Each structure stands twice: as C-alpha cells, then as structure tokens.
C-alpha cells in the first residue's frame, strides 16, 4: 500500500539571494555504497516507485505495479525500444596483454566508433587481436576517449560480439557480467540492436503491466535511441554549458509522432519512459508535436530548460553530477529533485541501473 503523501520541503534560501547558477557541484549527493543495486530483482515490476509531484514537491512511495493507476486515458507513454548489444569485446594487444574494446556505433564506411582500455596504450596504428578471427586496428583518435577502429579478418563484428562479447554492465556494478544479464539487462519491448547501455527506466515493465496500461486507454508508443557512453560521461567542469555531449542516434516512427501530437492536441500527457526518450522527443520538437524520422542528438538538458513535449517522466535514480540527474532536475526542479533523492536514500531505495524507479508528474 502507498504511504501517506509527505511534503518534502527543500532547504531554504535567503529571500534576497539570486537563483543559483547550478554549477556541477549542485548535483552532488551522499549515497551509501550498499544502496547501489548489484543484481536485478527476480520480478521486474516489484521495484519500488517514488512519485514526485513537481508542482508541490509532494512525495509518495509506491511500487511499480501502481504505475497504471497513475496514468490517465488518452496519455501517450513513450518507451525506448533499443536493444543492448554485447558490446564489450576482450582481446589481446600485440604484446600479448589483455585489452578491451567497447563498441559504440557503426559508421557508413564500415569502421566503428569505439572506446578502448588501456586507452594510453592503444593509439592510432595499434591493434587488438581476437584470436585468429579478427583484428581491430585503431585508425583515428576523435577526442573524449573515442576512437575510430577498422575490423579485418574472416569474422564479422556481429559474430565477434557473439563469440568475444559480454553485456556492458556499468562500472558501479562491480561483479562480472553473467549470462543471464544478456536478457535481464534488456527491456521486454527491446526490438533493435544498438545500445551499449540499457534504457534503464524501461527495465521495470512486464508484459502484464503493459497490458493493463493499454487496457485503460493509454497509448504505448516507441522510439529508438541507441544509448552511447556519452550519456554516462561524468560532468568534469563547473560550467555546465561547456560540457560536451557525444551524439546518440535515434529514430521516431510516424505512428509515435502521431501519438504524441494527438495526446498534446487533446490536452493529455506525454509520459517519457527514461531520459533517453525525453532527449529524443525534445530534440525532435516540431510545432505542437515531434517530427518523425531519424536523427542524432547532442542535446544536454540541465536547469533551466523549457520542456516543450514531455509532461511526465519515469526514470531511475542517477549518479551524482551526471547529465541524467541534471535532466531530471531540469524537469522536476533542482531543489525538489535533490530533496527527493535525500528521501530515497533515507527510505533505502535501490539506486542506478538495476535499482528502483521514480515518476515525476
């Protein structure tokens, strides 16, 4: 049963003080390491759900199975149907020492954008070997830790992933990736390969929950945004305007653009499932809706930002100083967001990819 609503009052400021400039340090918070989820729940929909009303700051504590009761007939629920690839390839450098290649995105010329470890040892001209099957030669350093690599050999990159690849779990999950992560680190609606990290807000859905949502008159629509490592690149500058975002590729189907436009036109809500969906929709804004078709987004959303499409946001709990947390704060309000995070820590929510969820309405 949900708890009684509680108004969490943000820390007070002097009335005469100007609104904060929100340097990166404004998005720090204290998190006990034991609250970082290392394993997924056996039942996806058993996750807890913190509900934040952004107009009042009121917080209630629910479970994810309560989500349908928080949606309204006529709402458009937009999910990210990108599928995580086994993008972390382990091979050997020319000196026989181990190396890691993280696939990011294929390029039209057949090369791949990648990140590598150890980065300082794999400069252009050096290579990583995958047995007798293939070689990844570093062709160009593109900045931000990204390289262009060319693969040669008798095995395709897809076949390399199947033989040498593992699920690219984020570094705060300290255990090795297990075989079961290949499916558990996917949403139930994933349909097209391309992401190097899961759109984690979608991990809580089951087919049963989706059926209940549809049955009550909510339109469930999808888009594709292939999640790249730039989403998780920490913000290392105080001035947020100087933080670079790596581009991520998305596609909005015509049916989704129509669902968004109809919901907005009839005064219903567009509910974004995850920060990836929010970024794609806000990037593709066109008139009273969004434009269908492919694109790439380097949009960095942080306070203040005038959302034009998204009316409600379902998301997980994010790392301090991350672009994901900054997007949530832009949508919910900085003080309201940080107060909600303190509340989540106090109530021992599970954090990050395999953790619990938050709904901002």
Q: What pTM did the predictor assign?
A: 0.89
Closest CA to 90 of 169, 166, 183: 166
Distance of CA 334 to the CA centre of its chain: 19
Q: Which of 318, 343, 344 is nearest to 330 (CA)?
A: 318
Structure letter (DSSP) for residue 125: T
* DSSP at 303: S
Output the pLDDT for position 181.
Answer: 96
Nearest alpha-carbon partner for 358 in 324, 321, 322: 324
E-only strand ranges, 107-173: 112-117, 127-130, 134-143, 146-153, 165-166
Relative to beta strand 112-117, strand 98-106 is antiparallel
CA-nearest of 143, 353, 330, 323 to 235 is 323
- Domains of the chain (ranges; CATH) run 6-84+182-360 (3.40.1780.10), 88-166 (2.40.10.240)
For residues 196 and 147, what is the distance between their CA atoms, to the nearest angstrom?
A: 15
Q: Outline where the chain has alpha helix (H).
A: 67-70, 157-164, 181-184, 207-215, 254-265, 275-283, 323-332, 334-346
Q: pLDDT tens digits for the chain (361 residues)?
A: 444 444 443 443 343 343 445 899 999 999 999 999 999 999 999 999 999 999 899 999 999 999 999 999 999 999 999 999 999 999 999 999 999 999 998 999 999 999 999 988 999 999 999 999 999 999 999 887 889 999 999 999 999 999 999 999 999 999 999 999 999 999 999 999 999 999 999 999 999 999 999 999 999 999 999 998 766 677 888 888 888 888 888 999 999 999 999 999 999 999 999 999 999 999 999 887 899 999 999 999 999 999 999 999 999 999 999 999 999 999 999 999 999 999 999 999 999 999 999 999 9
Is 272:314 a contact under the CB 8 Å cutoff?
yes
Q: Of 344, 269, 268, 353, which Cα lies nearest the Cα of 60? A: 344
190-192-196-200 Cα dihedral, nearest 10 degrees: -20
Contact 276, 225 (CB under 8 A): yes
Which positions ≥6 away from 322 have C-beta within 8 Å? 27, 232, 234, 235
State whether residue 15 is helix, strand or coil: coil
């Amino acid at each position: 049963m949900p708890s009684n609503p509680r108004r969490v009052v943000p820390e007070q400021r002097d009335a005469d003080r100007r609104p904060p400039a929100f340097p990166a340090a404004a998005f720090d918070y204290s998190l006990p390491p034991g609250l970082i989820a290392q394993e997924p729940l056996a039942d996806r929909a058993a996750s807890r759900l913190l509900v934040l009303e952004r107009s009042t700051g009121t917080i209630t504590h629910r479970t994810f199975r309560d989500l349908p009761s928080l949606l309204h007939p006529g709402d458009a629920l937009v999910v990210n149907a990108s599928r995580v690839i086994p993008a972390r390839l382990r091979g050997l450098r020319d000196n026989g020492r181990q190396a890691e290649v993280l696939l990011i995105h294929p390029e039209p010329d057949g090369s791949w954008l990648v990140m590598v470890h150890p980065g300082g040892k794999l400069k252009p001209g050096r290579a990583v070997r995958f047995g007798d099957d293939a070689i990844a030669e570093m062709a160009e350093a593109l900045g931000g830790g990204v390289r262009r690599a060319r693969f040669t050999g008798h095995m395709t990159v897809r076949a390399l992933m199947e033989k040498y690849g593992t699920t690219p779990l984020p570094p705060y999950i300290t255990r090795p990736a297990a075989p079961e992560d290949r499916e558990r680190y996917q949403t139930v609606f994933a349909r097209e390969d391309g992401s190097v990290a899961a759109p984690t807000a979608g991990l809580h859905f089951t087919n049963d929950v989706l059926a209940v949502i549809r049955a009550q008159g909510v339109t469930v629509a999808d888009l594709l945004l292939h999640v790249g490592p730039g989403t998780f690149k920490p913000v290392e500058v105080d001035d947020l305007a100087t933080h670079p975002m790596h581009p991520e590729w998305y596609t909005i189907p015509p049916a989704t653009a129509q669902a968004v436009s109809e919901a907005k036109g009839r005064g219903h809500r567009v509910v974004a499932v995850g920060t990836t969906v929010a970024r794609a929709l806000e990037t593709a804004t066109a008139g009273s809706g969004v434009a269908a078709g492919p694109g790439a987004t380097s949009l960095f959303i942080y306070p203040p930002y005038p959302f034009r499409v998204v009316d409600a946001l379902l998301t997980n709990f994010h790392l301090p100083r991350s672009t994901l947390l900054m997007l949530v704060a832009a949508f919910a309000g900085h003080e309201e967001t940080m107060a909600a995070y303190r509340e989540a820590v106090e109530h021992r929510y599970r954090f990050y990819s395999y953790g619990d969820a938050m709904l901002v309405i």
